[in-house]
Amino acid sequence: MEKIRIERLREDARRPLSVNLSEGIALSHKLLRFTGAVLER
């Protein structure tokens, strides 16, 4: 499992910074919306 995770990390690391940055931002937005929605309940 750990070996697969590291392989995926290395694959991501080979992509352009801009692609990874956009993906990270999209993930953060989703998480912030989710936690915000939970806190509002």
Partner 1 sequence: MNEPAFDELLRSLADADVEFVVIGGLALNAWGVVRGTKDVDVVLAAEADNFKRVAGVAVAAGGHVQQGEALLGSAFSIAAALAAGEQVVIETNLGRLDVVQGLDGVPSFEDLRSRATEAEILGSRVWICSREDLKAMKRAAGRTRDLADLEDLDAISG
What's the CA gap between 22 and 26, in Å, rounded? 6
13 or 41, CB closer to partner 1?
A: 13
Using CB under 8 A as the criterion, what x/- string covers residues 22-41 for binding partner 1? xxxx-xxxxxxx--x-----
We find the least distance from the C-beta atom of residue 39 to partner 1, in angstroms, to be 12
What's the CA gap between 5 and 27, in Å, rounded? 18
We find the least distance from the C-beta atom of residue 8 to partner 1, in angstroms, to be 9
Contact 29, 37 (CB under 8 A): no
Please count the other Cβ atoms lying within 10 Å of the Cβ belonging to residue 26: 10
Residues within the interface to partner 1 (CB under 8 A): 6, 9-10, 12-18, 20-25, 27-33, 36
